[in-house]
Each structure stands twice: as structure tokens, then as C-alpha cells.
Structure 1
Amino acid sequence: MATIENRSRFVVTVANRDDLLKTFPHSKRADAMAYVRQLSNEQGFKPKLSRENNNFIVRFREVGHPELALPASSMEEAVAIKMRIEGERATGLFIDYGKGRTVTLANLLVRYAKEHLPRLKSFETMGYVVNGFLRDAGVAPVDMAKALADHPNPHPTVKQTFKKRKAAKEVVRTPSGAADFLRKPFSAVVPDDINDYIDERCQSVSEATVDRELDLLASVCNLAIETWRIPLQSNLSPMKGVRRPRYFNERDRRLRTGEEARLLELAAAEDRDSSIERRLEELMKADRYASSAAPTKYKRKNIIAAARRRFEAEALATYDHVPTLEAYVQFQLMTAARLSEGINLLWKHVDLEAQTAFLPETKNGRPRTLPLRSHLVQLLKELPRTSERVFAQLTRDGLRKAWGRINAAMGLEGEERLRIHDLRHEAISRTAEAGANLPGGFSLVELQAFSGHRDVRMLLRYAHLSATSLAKRLDAAFGDAQQTYVHRGVRRLAKGASVSLAQIINAPAETNATAAADAPMTDGDSEPSRPAAHQPPVRFKLVMGGRS
């Protein structure tokens, strides 16, 4: 059922007396009538009460459909809207574009944080970004702990590991003054709003940071349109047409001469200090308990300080060295595991006899099995099994602080600083280089299995490291008369050759050219080939199994 409501203002006028003109809202008709009576009875004027008739609401209430209210500027327009909507609903063609005008982009961010983010493994990190957007727009942030607790189906890892953190004294995020567009209705947000934000935001943070924030906005817009069914008249997301910042931040930091030895030496020193500290805490256990009963913080500190001095020598003499950080560094260098994959590795997923470590969940959502070299197996055997985690003594915060001290001790600053993720890059690079010393080498597909990248294109940065091994295989293939033959002036690669056609096609151009130039001119028959001076030109066409 549809109704048309006249919400135009009431107007009271008196001929030739503009100073007595007065308007009233549509809901104040009684006040307008009272004013008419006042002018007529008390002042003797002849007032006229009229209506502007320029503001109408067409309201639809129908079973099976959400309530809908659409504005119109005249009765004729209101009637036309009523007939059009009723016709579209009758034929099933109705699309409610009004939804996009009733919610702001900030409202959608709040809904995204409460309904969608708890399903993601990156819940905590993305929650910081969402609340950063909301604060910049002047909107109250979302209580992420409550959002997780209220969600019916959160990510299992997040549900087990999330801990509510204390509010930081200082805001780490650099605020943006161009986030006002988040308070606009969703249907009113246009690409220029977001482009202005990008230009302003890039002045204070890196382009890569801005790009990740845009990924979040794109996810919210797509979810709103495709899942929450909030259609837009343009049928385009506000992100369509946004000019993303261009940047290149691929890092190629390798360990230089002597850095690995120094890194392991400092990691062993960190393990020594932490082992001594753990032993000291064991000896001070009774004093820790006694200090909790001290009446003041000052006395508690004095009790602990005295206990440390009393047990320091004994702790130094009786501690057990646990090479946790040293083993972790070696683990990263030998397996190319990601930071969290190593930190969260469980003993139940490690098989030292089979030399494997199973990762049930990785960054790309797929499981992976890591090969463990024999030297690494020996290091892992030295670690105590006092916890489910292999590297039980390491936490993210502890690792970050220890890594900072190691960089400072090595004198590495700025872009020269070593990052923990650089160990993964080093491990993949070493594996690619090691393939040059093997008869078959390692292809990019084999490197993909080792690194755990979901897309082989992510490994193209390592392709040049595999070129040497591929060149050797090309030499072997084209130098063996059993692997190539000439047919109609075209050199063909025999079926079962030691190098595949796909590898040759994907090889660097200079490798193909070199291999082709060095390949001997033989047709593979028992008869000797003609002298080179009398041979006709031979075209090289790489065809598997004699088929073009």
C-alpha cells in the first residue's frame, strides 16, 4: 500500500504587509491557525493561510517488502513515483536505491568490523585500520574485543589467541584530515573523494600503507554492494576510477659476508642472557611472592633488587643454555618459513625422524610441509619440550626487542637494517642458487613448493638465480644427440629430453640464444654430419616429441 504525505510548509500572508508573513513546518498547522486568529481577531487583518506544495513523501508499506519512503517536489512527481514503484514491484524489477542514501561509509565500516572482520585471521591488524579511519572521520571506534565476543562464527585462531590490549598512551597512526568523506551517504561517495584522501594521506605515510588502506575500503564497498545488497544507481563501486598510488617497495636485502656468523653469534648471546634470566627467576620465586605483600611499590622494588644481587652468581653458574633464538634463526634460513609460521610451530607437527614440519595453516590459507635439514634437526633436538610450541621461549614482542638489539650491535640502521622477513628471502635465494650445482637444478615450480607462495609469479624475482642451472640443462640437452634431431631444417627437441619445452619458453632470452648458438649441428643419425662449411642453414624450432 502506498500513501502520499504532503510535508510542505504552511504560509500565512497579509495583503500589502510582507512584514507579517510567517511560515510553519508541516507538523505545526495548529500554530499556523493560531497565528491566523491572532491577526484576524486581535489586529483586524484579513490573513490568508496557504501551503507551498513543494515537499512530498511517497511511503510504501507492503507485506514482503521493507518500508520505503521516497521524496518528491510536487504532487505530480509523487503520483508518478507511486505508479512506477508499484509497477516495478508487481513485475519484480524494483531496485531500492534509497538504501545507499540512508547509510554512510562510516556506518558500513562499523558493520564490516562487527560482522566480517572476526571471520578473518587478520582481525586484530585490520581492526586497527578500521578504527583509524573512524577516528579520522570523527566517529566513535569499534570495541574489537566485544565484536569478537559477539560474533557467532569467528576465525578459530583469532578466537584462541586474541587478547584485549590496553589503550595506548599515544596514537601511533598519523591522523588524516581528508577522511570527512566517510560521513557522506554511501551513494554520494565518488572517486574524487577517495583520490583527495590519497593525495593528502601520501604526504604523511608511505604509498604502500595507503594502498593497503584502499584494499580495506574496496573490500567494504564490494561487500556492501554484493552481499549486503545496497545497490548504487551507477552500478559501480566508489572505488571504480580511484587512482591508486604507484610505488615499488620490493626488498632485496641479502646477508653479506660475515653477517650470518655475526647474527648467529648475537643470537646465541641473547639465548645466554635469557637462559640466565630464567634461572634467576626460578631462584627468586620465593622473593617474588614475598614482595607482593610489601606495602609500597618502593619496598617491592627493593626486595626484588636485593634478591637479584643475592642469586646472580648462582644463576650464572647453574643456568642451562637453551638456544631458542639461534635455532629460530637457523630455522628461518633453512626452511624459508614466515615469521608467524616459525613462532607458532607446534611439537605435534614436527617429525624429526622424517625431517619434516607440518604447517596446518599458512598466510594463503593452505597447509604446507617444511623439509628440515639434518643440521636443523640437531638444533631442534636441543630445545626443551616444556610447551606445545617448539620455540616456547619466544614471543612476538620478545623477538622484536631482541632483533632490535641485534641490529644495533651489528651497527645496521635505516634500509641496511636486517628484518626477520629478510631471512625468508635469503633462504629462497640460497635454494635457487644451490640448484645451479645440481644436475637437474630447481625450477620455479619447485621453488614454489619450497617457499609456499600461492602464485608462482611471486617467485619471478628469483628467476635469474635459476638461470645458471637452466643453462647447464640446455647445454646437456642440445649437446646430446639422443635428445635433439633435425627434420626439414628444423632442430627439434626429442620426447623425454632432460629439459622441458615449458622451461625453455620461460627461460631468459639470452639463455635461449646462447644454448641455440652453442648446440652442435647433428641430426642424431649414425652417419657423421657434413662439414660445417657445406651444411645448409638450420632453423631452430623447439618442438617436443616431433610435433610442431
Structure 2
Amino acid sequence: MATIENRSRYIVAVKNKDALQRLFPYSELQRAKAYCAELRERGYKPRLDQLEDAYLVRIRQKGHKPQQFTVDSLAEAESAVARIEAERKTGLFRDYTKAHNVTFADLIRRYAEEEGPKHRGWETVEKYKCRGWLDDLAGNLAQRDAQRKAEIAATGKAVTARKAMRVPATGIEWMSKPFAQVETTDIEGYIRDRLDVVAPSTVDREIDVLSAICNVAVKVWKYHVADNPMNGVRRPKYFNERNRRLKSGEYQRLIDAAIEEDRLRSIELRAQALMADARGQAALRPTVYQKKGLIQDALAECRAQAEQDYEHVALYETWAHFQTMTAARRGESLNTTWDNVDLAARTVFLPMTKNGRPRKLALRAELVELLDALPRTDARVFPISEDALKKAWARICQRAGIDDLHIHDLRHEGISQAAETGQFSLVDLQAFSGHCDVRMLLRYAHLCTTKLAHRLDAAFATTKLKTETTQVHRGRRRVRAGQGLSVTEILADAPEAAQPKCAKLAPSTPAPTTSPAQGNNVIAFPGRRAAGAQAGGR
């Protein structure tokens, strides 16, 4: 059973008096009638009508869930009822009303609660994006920025915490629309606005999150729409692939700088160990001034002593070699634990990688020696936080005089060096690098070309081209000088080319013989010699 109810607003109007016109919600019919009565008392002739821009459709049928949705016109309501009833009869019915009753912002909240935490990149990317959109949709960050600006203008200092490092997103009003009404143009408008304030790669990652939300909503939560709004979205084009290679001498300078970083770190660790007694004594001093003074004096003495008796730990040096020799990613190396290291087998097991698959790293002999020399005071092989590594890397590059070198460039350098040896196929390089798709390795294919040419020479060394052993002289092909070929060898190689004229000789004609005094490359023909002698006699 289907019912269609007009839920449009009421309008009270007076002819030629537009200033007296008023609109009332569907639920406030009594207020509209009261306003009409007031106008009549004032001597006007008001007219009360109901618009036709909102119709509530209710469909109740046994064996199906009740349907309730709002459309913009009576014709659209009747068409929807007819379509739903026809689809139910044929068994092709899809409930499109759910997508009309939930906003895109509601989908973001549900995704953040149910789906997002299941993903490996949730804590670092997706959570930040989802919370940012909801915060910007409410205008919270923009309000905090305005408040901070007013505080700086008034007192010269901002008191309100900004609580974010991002630029507020604009053009996201469409997220308040029902999911069924979100269009591709809405998302593309957001892309255009966002490109004015952030890099195209950042926008592309945000589109990835929006796409994931739409796909889950349609495929898992069954919010059916006529067309997924992500279909047809044109992503920003950009190229951020890095091909930074270490130049001549840079790797050694990098290692030398890492050794110096290890020296300073080892001295500081030794100094802090020597400071234990001084800190205990400082805690007994009555004033903060005395405590700080004691600690500063003791720290200077402990550092001077630490420079004499510190134990050098090659942590950053080993890490730099590890990144280059194994082509591991930063997170893979920092999360490597000693229980996954087998120095005897020269392997490191990675239970979780970027593509979600475990793999093993092969260790070169010199790297095994460096790892074996590291202390095992922590469960991790490289007990360094990401923030500490970033700061140390900046100091190492500055000390080495190297510009524009990222940590991830060491991975690219390691794969490139392996490719340049020519000893590995692309499949071998894929196992070495851990790429899930061999197409990601095509950027290294050109490094294998020179070695491939030499391998082709070796493979076809026994087969000489015709142009390598012969040459064309005055229209005839001749054997090149220096080939070391005798006529006997030539005739043995192509006997059919030397026999046709001999086959026409008479049976009584003696066969050609070779004079013992002549070399192997001279064949004597007695019959022709005799003929030549007679001609010479005449």
C-alpha cells in the first residue's frame, strides 16, 4: 500500500501586497491560519495555499521493509511508487531511500567508527582526514583562526589553541547533502578549491579516502544510489617520482657523517649515565637555582670524561648501510626486531610490509658483521623513533654537505645499484625490493640495458654475422682479410657452390689436383693449365 502526502510549506499572500507574504512549515498550519485571521482583522483579504515542492511517500507491503522518502513533485512521487512496485513484482527492487536519509557527513562518521580503524594507514592518514573534514564542516578551525587573529591584534599574542596544522578545507558544503544527492561535480569542485592551498599529491590522497568511503557505503552498507559519485572524478595530475642518485663521493661522506653522529650520540649516552649521581645530589638541594647550577656543572664534567672513555656504537652507520644494502623502507628497518634476524642464514624476516605481505631481506656479508657488532639492549635492531631519525638525518646530511637527499632515496639507490650489476632479472629485483607489482620496477629497467647488451654478445658469440666475415667488392662478395679461412674450409662449408662446373667435365677428363708445392688455398686445374699453355705457345 502506498500513500503520497503533500508536506510542502504553507503560503499566506495578499494580492498586490508582497510585503505581507509569509511562508509557514508544513507542521505550523495553525500559525498560518492565525496569520490569515490577523490580516482579515486588518481589512485585508488573505489567501492560504500550500506549495507543491515536497511530497512524502510511504510504501508498506507485506514481505518488504517499509519505505519512506520525500520527493520534489507529485509526478516524481507517483513515478517512484510505480517503479518500486514494478521492481518488487519482478524481484529487481533496490532500496534507494536509505541513501536519501543519510548525509555524506554521516557516512564519514560511520567510516571513522567502523571501517577506518581496520586499515593500516588509519592512524597516520585517514583519521586525520576524516576528523579534519568534520571539523571544517562545522567551521571550528576557521573560528579558532579568527579568534587567534583577534587575540594577536588585541594583545600581540594568541591564547586560543589552534589544535591543527592543516589549512581549513573549503568547498565541502556538499558533505551536508544526502548521499543520494552528492554528484561528481561536487567532488571536483572540492578538488579545484583544495588545489589552491595544498599540493596535488595531498589532494590525491584525500580523494583516496573519499573513494573508500563511497565504496564502503555502496558495496558494504548497501546505500544504493543511481551512480557512485566517485565515478568520473578526474584526479589532479602530478609527477613526484624521485630519481635522486648518490653522486661520486656522496655515499662515503654520508657514512663519515653517520659515524660522527654515532660518536656524539655515544658520548651523550655515556655522559647521561655518569650523571646519575649528580642528579641524586641535585634533588637534595633546597632551591631550583641550586639544582640547575649543580646539574650544569656536573654535566660539563661528565661530558669531558665521556669523551675519554665512551663506547662507540655504530647505530646510524649500520642503519645507513642497512637501508642501502637491503633497499628496505624506513618503517621496515625501524620496526625490525632481533628475534626476526638470523645472522647465520643472513636473512631478516619482515612480518608486515607496506603492501601487507611478509618478506625476507637478504644480508650481505659486510652488513652481517655490522649488525653483529650492535648491542642488543633493545628488542628492536635500531631503537630510534621516527622523529629522532628525521632530526639525525638532517644533521648527517648537513654535516656531509649533501643537499636534497631523502631517507627513501637510499632505497632507490640500493635497488639501482643491484640493477646496475646486471646479475639480476626484473623478477630478482622484485624479490629484492619487495614491490608487489613488477611494473613499479620498470623505472630501473634502463639500468640493466648495458649489461643485457654484453650478455647478448656472450649468448651469440658463436654465430658470426655474414657482414663480419665477408665484404662486397665490385659487385661480388669476398672473404675479408684476416679470417684465417682456407679454400678447403670454404668448399666444405658450401660444397654445392663449387661442384656444378666440375660435374660437366667429360668422364675422361682428369680430376683437378693440388700441387704439393702449393698452399692449401690453391687448387690446380690441369685441363685449363694445358689450354692456357697452348694459347701461350700460339
Per the shorter chain, which TM-score range? Answer: 0.7 to 0.9
User: Deviation at 1:179?
Assistant: 3.2
Q: Normalising to structure 2: TM-score of the pair?
A: 0.74
Does the residue aligned with 2:105 lie in a helix, a strand or coil?
helix
- Aligned partner of 1:222 among 208, 215, 239: 215
CA deviations over 1:464-484 (Å, ceiling 9, x no partner): 111122222211222236xx9
Stretches of structure 2 that go unaligned for 5 or more consecutive residues are 142-159, 467-488, 499-538
Give deviations 1:90-128, integer Å, cap 9, x for gaps.
543222323333333333223222222211111222222
Partner of 1:276: 267
Instruction: Give the Å deviation of 1:396.
Output: 1.0
Paired residue for 1:206? 199
Provide Cα deviations, 1:471-508, integer angstroms capped at 9, x if missing partner. Answer: 22211222236xx999xxxxxxxxxxxxxxxxxxxxxx
The aligned amino acid for 1:460 is L
Residue number in structure 1 paired with 2:330: 339
| Deviation string, structure 1 residues 182-219 (Cα, Å, up to 9, x no partner) | 33333333333333333333333322222222222222
User: 1:183 is matched with which residue?
Assistant: 176
Residues 402-441 of structure 1 aligned to structure 2 (within 5 Å)? 402-412=392-402, 416-435=403-422, 441=423
SS in 2 for 1:400: helix
Quick one: which of 435, 450, 473 aligns to 1:453?
Answer: 435
Q: In structure 2, do the counterparts of structure 1 residues 296 and 107 end up closer, same or farther at CA, with 3 Å as the change threshold?
A: farther
Name structure 1 gaps, 5 residues minimum: 142-166, 436-440, 487-524, 535-548
Which residue in the other structure is 1:545 paired with? none
Q: Is the 8 A contact 1:280 1:308 kept in 2?
A: yes
Aligned 1:15-30 pairs, distance under 5 A: 24-30=24-30
Once residues 222 and 429 of structure 1 are traced to their aligned partners in structure 2, the CA distance between those partners, rounded to angstroms, is 37
Give the whole-Å Cα distance in 1 for the aligned partners of 2:124 and 2:43: 73
- 1:274 is aligned with what amino acid? R
Deviations 1:344-400 (A, max 9, x none): 1111111111111111111111111111111111111111111111112x2211110
Superposed CA offset, 1:54-88 (max 9, x none): 64312235676555322356667655544543443
* Bigger Rg, which one: 2
| Alpha-carbon shift at residue 238 of structure 1 (Å) | 1.9
**Whole-Å Cα distance in 1 between the matches of residues 121 and 64 of structure 2?**
37
Residues 349, 358 of structure 1: 8 Å contact kept: yes
Give the Cα separation in 1 of the matches to 2:261 and 2:174: 49
Selected match of 1:355 from 346, 356, 361: 346
Tell me by how many angstroms 1:300 deviates.
Answer: 5.4
Matched AA of 2:404: R
Residue 20 of structure 1: how far off its partner (Å): 8.3
Question: How much is the aligned-residue C-alpha RMSD, in angstroms?
Answer: 3.8
Amino acid at match of 1:111: R
What is the correspondence of 1:314-333 to structure 2 with a 5 Å cutoff? Answer: 314-333=305-324
Alignment of 1:28-427 (within 5 A): 28-31=28-31, 55-61=54-60, 65-72=64-71, 78=77, 81-126=80-125, 127-138=127-138, 171-233=164-226, 235=227, 237-288=228-279, 301-392=292-383, 394-412=384-402, 416-427=403-414
Alpha-carbon spacing, 1:322–1:206, altered in 2? closer, same or farther (3 Å): same
Could you tell me whether the CA contact under 8 Å between 2:69 and 2:100 is conserved in 1?
no
In 1, Cα distance between equivalents of 2:386 and 2:67: 51
Decide whether the 8 Å contact of 1:57 with 1:69 is kept in 2. yes
**CA deviations over 1:144-190 (Å, ceiling 9, x no partner):** xxxxxxxxxxxxxxxxxxxxxxx986743233333333333333333
Aligned CA distance change for structure 1 residues 53 and 138 (closer, same or farther; 3 Å): closer
Over 3 Å counting, the alpha-carbon distance change for 1:84 and 1:294 in structure 2 is farther
Amino acid at match of 1:421: H
Q: Which letter maps to 2:105?
A: A
Distance apart, 1:32 and its partner CA: 5.2
In the alignment, is the contact (CA less than 8 A) between 2:267 and 2:310 conserved in 1? Answer: yes
Question: d(CA) in 1 for partners of 2:199 and 2:48?
Answer: 63
Following superposition, the deviation at residue 287 of structure 1 comes to 4.2
Alpha-carbon separation, structure 2, partners of 1:385 and 1:177:
50
Identity %: 48
Question: Does the C-alpha gap of structure 1 residues 329 and 57 become closer, same or farther in structure 2, counting only changes over 3 Å?
Answer: same
Aligned to 1:464, the other structure's residue is in SS state: helix
Q: TM-score, normalized by length of structure 1?
A: 0.72
Query: Once the 2 structures are TM-superposed, how far is the Cα of residue 451 of structure 1 from its aligned partner?
Result: 0.9
1:121 and 1:10 map into 2 onto residues whose CA distance is: 52
Corresponding residue to 2:460 among 478, 483, 500: 478
For 1:427 and 1:472, the matched residues in 2 are separated by 22
What residue in structure 1 maps to residue 444 of structure 2? Answer: 462
Compared CA separation, residues 389 and 530, structure 1 to 2 (3 A): farther
Listed one character per residue, the Cα deviations across residues 264-296 of structure 1 (whole Å, up to 9, x for unaligned) are 111111111111211222222344466678888
The 3-state SS of whatever aligns with 1:465 is: helix
What number of residue pairs does the alignment pair up?
A: 456
Moved more, 276-285 or 423-432: 276-285
Q: Report how far residue 302 of structure 1 moved.
A: 3.8
Q: Partner amino acid for 2:133?
A: F
Paired letter, 1:188: Q
Farther-moved stretch of structure 1 (221-230 vs 457-466): 221-230
SS in 1 for 2:57: strand
Q: Using the TM superposition, give the Cα deviation of residue 328 of structure 1 relative to its aligned residue in structure 2, in angstroms.
A: 0.4
Contact in 1 for aligned 2:268/2:303 (Cα 8 Å): no
SS at match of 1:479: coil
The CA distance in 2 between the partners of 1:28 and 1:199, in whole Å, is 42
Paired residue type of 1:459: L
SS in 2 for 1:354: coil
Q: How far apart are the structure 1 equivalents of 2:268 and 2:316?
A: 15
More displaced, 115-124 or 6-15? 6-15
Give the structure 2 partner of residue 500 of structure 1: none
Report SS of the residue matched to 1:5: strand
